[in-house]
Structure 1
Amino acid sequence: MTERADRTIHALRSGHDYLTAVVHGLATADLRRPSGASDWDVSQVLSHLGSGAEIGLATLEGALGGTGAPDGEFNKSVWARWNAMSPVERAEAFVTADEALVSGYEALDPQARKDLRIDLGFLPVPVDVATVGGLRLGEFTHHTWDVEVAFDHAAALAPVAVELLLDQAGMLIGFLGKADVLGGRSVRLAVRTHQPERSFGLVVHDAVQLADEEPLQPDAVLRAPAEWWLRLTTGRHAPVYTPAEVALDGDSLTLDELRSIFPGF
């Protein structure tokens, strides 16, 4: 598990350095452009990432110091302060706050990366550094895309994060997927990705679940870049953002129906 924590922290550093360079190249007008996140401009995405970094660092420090996660009032005060910032202030503060969080993870020694347990406040039990870092990596990587796609509709998720995010996709699929949109229909989908190559199953019945292996007789077969599969599950799947090589074969499910299962958040 230490290896996974190490890889995750490395990906968080890579993502921070990349997005920081992007932010430093943005003009004030760029920060007000609509982002890939519904109802948010670019500065609001950076505000979300920056306030999340601030809360994440407080949570990490609480685990290290034995004081536990900050309470809801702390979180509300952080969000209120970030919401009151101007677009330029949000961009500048994001760089500082996210650097502090990534540096906090990097400062953890091998023992802490293996044994430390962190109470996130919304999970039933404290979890390890790899899990907490992985959740942040998923949030950070998709919101980086939200920023990039404001300027390039062909933007893709950072390759350094994709394999790690594929490995943890099953953790949230039940929350992200909405089985009821199919009106009670059950669908067994074979998913085949490339970059990296993976094959697994998606089952839509009473709930949405991933299976380690493809169904023997799938109702449909999805072939797609792995990064688009990840964007699909988080609602970043509009036709304008869908690469030409995405293909769904079979008569039981259309691509628009598959999109509807994952409305995003």
Structure 2
Amino acid sequence: MTTRADQAIAALRKGHDELTALVRGLTPEQLRGPSAAAEWDVSQVVSHLGSGAEINLEVVRRSLAGDPPPDFEFNKGVWARWDGMTPEERQASFPVANQRLVEAYEAFTPEQRGSHRIDVGWMPEPVDVATSAVLRLTEFGYHQWDVRVAFDPAAALDPAAAALMNDRIEGMFNWIAKPDRLDGRTGTLLVTLTDLDERFALRVDADKVSLVPSDADADADADAELSLPLEAWLRLAAGRLGAPYTPSSVKATGVFSLDDLRALFPGY
């Protein structure tokens, strides 16, 4: 039986192979060109993923040794080293660093994938291999898109990765949603994921956004509706559904326009 850990690790491998092939073929000008991450060029996104791979690998290694995760000083040292690289050095170093991390996840036995726990340092308690892999996949999936879309405006999140990344969104509302940017407007938003034929409702209050029970009566009273594929919803929630990258199938009606929702989820 394929487990959630198996699925996440397979998605990490697929993303690594695809992004490595793209990054290795970039010209010096493309490396220095803009990515979809507003403040980073393409090489800086690659740097962020490379340094993240090193830090995550150290977390995994220490968990296997029974040691606590690396401290913030370790992280700072890794970031400083990658920040000091030239774009070409980042281009050469990323495939190696990320390959090592993916191989570390692939090396977990079936038993470990079910029982091993990893202290990532910032969660309330150690997590299982599946959750650790999905945390990395969420970071990797969004930033892989930041690079890919620089060369393909129609780029989308990988479907298998998106299905796993969706597990993380509700827990991120507290810090990714900015309801104060809606000038006090509140309401219930009914979201339909058109490729999954699923619905859920969000309550947008002045100070928070939260999931609320969705049923026929509540859906009929919704103040706004949004219909879009899962991967577009995930990109919207992470501030990556700008007008140039929005599929024509995305529709918003009611008190919240699509621009309102982009303001609600400005990205990170």
CA deviation vs aligned residue, 1:167-224 (integer Å, no higher than 9, x gap) = 3321212221112222333221111113333211121113112346364321111011
* Contact 1:9/1:105 (8 A) holds in 2: yes
More displaced 10-residue stretch of structure 1: 162-171 or 210-219: 210-219
Q: How does 1:1-265 map to 2 (within 5 A)?
A: 3-205=3-205, 206-211=207-212, 213=214, 215-216=218-219, 217-250=221-254, 252-265=255-268
How far, CA to CA, are the matches of 2:22 and 2:160 in structure 1?
17
How far, CA to CA, are the matches of 2:212 and 2:130 in structure 1?
22
Q: CA deviation at 1:253?
A: 1.2
Q: CA deviation at 1:68?
A: 1.3
The total of aligned residue pairs comes to 264
Give the aligned residue type for 1:100. R
Give the aligned residue type for 1:191. V
SS at match of 2:231: helix
Q: CA deviation at 1:116?
A: 1.6
Task: Provide the TM-score with structure 1 as the length reference.
Answer: 0.95
Shift of the 164–213 alpha-carbon distance from structure 1 to 2, 3 Å rule, reads: farther
Q: CA deviation at 1:226?
A: 1.2
Give the aligned residue type for 1:236. R
Q: CA deviation at 1:2?
A: 7.5
- After superposition, the CA RMSD in angstroms is 1.6
SS at match of 1:203: strand
SS at match of 1:26: coil
Give the aligned residue type for 2:211. L
Query: Which consecutive residues of structure 1, in runs of 5 or more, have no partner in the other structure?
Result: none
* Contact 1:166/1:230 (8 A) holds in 2: yes
Q: CA deviation at 1:84?
A: 0.7
How far, CA to CA, are the matches of 2:63 and 2:39 in structure 1?
34
* Contact 1:173/1:210 (8 A) holds in 2: no
Query: Which consecutive residues of structure 2, in runs of 5 or more, have no partner in the other structure?
Result: none
How far, CA to CA, are the matches of 2:258 and 2:194 in structure 1?
18
Task: Provide the TM-score with structure 2 as the length reference.
Answer: 0.94
How far, CA to CA, are the matches of 1:24 and 1:197 in structure 2?
38
How far, CA to CA, are the matches of 2:227 and 2:94 in structure 1?
36
How far, CA to CA, are the matches of 1:69 and 1:212 in structure 2?
38
How far, CA to CA, are the matches of 1:157 and 1:211 in structure 2?
26
Among the aligned pairs, what percent are the same residue?
Answer: 50
How far, CA to CA, are the matches of 2:67 and 2:15 in structure 1?
29
CA deviation vs aligned residue, 1:121-155 (integer Å, no higher than 9, x gap) = 12221111111111111111111110011112121
